[in-house]
Structure 1
């Protein structure tokens, strides 16, 4: 044994010299032997976080070696480094190009992609009765004045272009119901529901006036058999522009050779409209609207019963 010990020590020393590594500070380091690891683990006492972490790593390395678990080492392949090419400096755009781009405001509808999608024909509306391109209501004029004023005050901003649209007259559709109920409640009283009108010949009993997607007027009769006008209303800002006259005309035209009746408040200015169409007063009813109108309403609770004979 004594003869082999010097040879063993020399062999161990040569192996340790092969495993030497130089750190960043120029010091040579070698891995710990098994006996050194066991000695450190047995003599290690509680210390700071660094000592506890070192003890844990030594214990893990010992358990791996005892269980013949080889530690996998990942070697990253280092590719040769190349110098990046300098980024070319961006040339300033020409003043002519800038001026042309700044002069572009909005794409005309005739040249837009939307016009190509829509085509040359307008969108077909369900139950369309008539189209009015000539009427300009106070609300339309107000919106146009506001848009023009904004363009004058802020010339540097691209104000959106307002597409001109007609007032369309059609029969009542399900999509009109929310706005129709709101309009009738504002014009008469709360709780009005005309949903059942869609089940009883709406193509002959209803006329709805719309500007784009806004319901601006509605006229409804009860049924083709009992041609009684239940509601005729126009939105505020759209009145006194012949919308009510047009709706009444279409209702009469949709029900020819039928006597049409209605009740109207005694102080309602619509009396003049009905007289122009030939309606005649048949009866005066005191307190007809007492159960419907708000006590603070300015409308008279007395009513005239009118009839148009055809």
Structure 2
């Protein structure tokens, strides 16, 4: 974003009265049918092939889609009733070029707020740096699962197939 602003400003570098326009906003909304093709493409590119997240339309109130100029740059989905008094964060993704901008933090906060009074659980790859984000919210590891992602990743994948099962007790 900063580079884009510098490129826009360059032709006006000698004009002391020129003022840059406000940058476009990042918008957060619930998942809608028109988001699903983009969400699926990102999921297939960054998670695993053949994934289809259309089922997330069943729980739109437990979702968060992040848009920059109508382009999906992040999403988070939760299953609200896994067990009595428990919700499960099934997917959390921020495009790599938008990471470390607070987007995932906002999405996790939003999902936690949608399930007040319920424990929130999730699985996270053992090498995923998002583990630090989850710990900041108070998630604690309960179990280490060997080869949890084995059935999802391609055989030749270099991604870690082990996972932690985390819980935020409420």
TM-score, normalization by structure 1: 0.49
Compute the displacement of 1:211 (Å).
1.2
CA distance in 2: counterparts of 1:260 and 1:175, whole angstroms: 28
Helix, strand or coil: the match of 1:172?
A: coil
Counterpart Cα distance in 2 of 1:273 and 1:297 = 25
- How far apart, CA to CA, are the structure 1 residues paired with 2:51 and 2:34? 17
> Match of 2:64?
207
Q: Secondary structure at the match of 2:148?
A: coil
1:294–1:142 distance in 2 versus 1, CA, 3 Å: farther
Match of 2:90 in 1: 230
Matched, 1:187 2:46: yes
Tell me what 1:252 maps to: 112
Separation in 1, partners of 2:158, 2:99: 18
Q: CA deviation at 1:145?
A: 3.1
Q: In the alignment, which residue of structure 2 is the partner of 1:75?
A: none
How far apart, CA to CA, are the structure 1 residues paired with 2:126 and 2:160?
6
Structure 2 partner of 1:288: 148
**RMSD (Å) for aligned C-alpha atoms:** 2.0
Match of 1:242 in 2: 102
Structure 1 residue 165 displacement after superposition: 1.9
2:139 counterpart residue number:
279
Matches within 5 A, 1:171-182: 171-182=30-41
Correspondences of 1:1-12 after superposition (within 5 Å): none
How many pairs align? 161
What is residue 3 of structure 2 aligned with on the other side?
Answer: 142
Q: Is the 8 A contact 1:284 1:302 kept in 2?
A: yes
Structure 1 position 307, deviation (Å): 0.7
Deviation at 1:141, TM superposition (A): 2.0
For residues 264 and 173 of structure 1, the distance between their equivalents in structure 2, rounded to whole angstroms, comes to 25
Alpha-carbon distance in 1 for matches of 2:25, 2:145: 40
Report how far residue 296 of structure 1 moved.
4.1
Structure 1 unaligned regions, length at least 5: 1-139, 156-160
Which of the numbers 50, 59, 73 marks the counterpart of 1:216? 73
Higher alpha-carbon Rg = 1
Give the Cα separation in 1 of the matches to 2:163 and 2:66: 26
Q: Which runs of 5 or more residues in structure 2 are unaligned?
A: 15-19
C-alpha separation between the residues in 2 aligned to 1:296 and 1:141? 37
- Whether the aligned pair in 2 keeps the contact of 1:268 and 1:299 (CA below 8 Å) is no
Larger RCO (CA under 8 A, 6+ residues apart): 2
CA distance in 2, matches of 1:248, 1:298: 27
Secondary structure, in 3 states, of the residue corresponding to 1:247?
helix
Q: Which of 160, 165, 185 is the equivalent residue of 2:24?
A: 165
Give the whole-Å Cα distance in 1 for the aligned partners of 2:3 and 2:36.
Answer: 26
CA distance in 1, matches of 2:92, 2:32: 17
Residue 152 of structure 1, CA deviation = 6.6
Q: Distance in 1 between matches of 2:115 and 2:96?
A: 28
Q: CA–CA distance in 2 between the matches of 1:299 and 1:193? A: 20
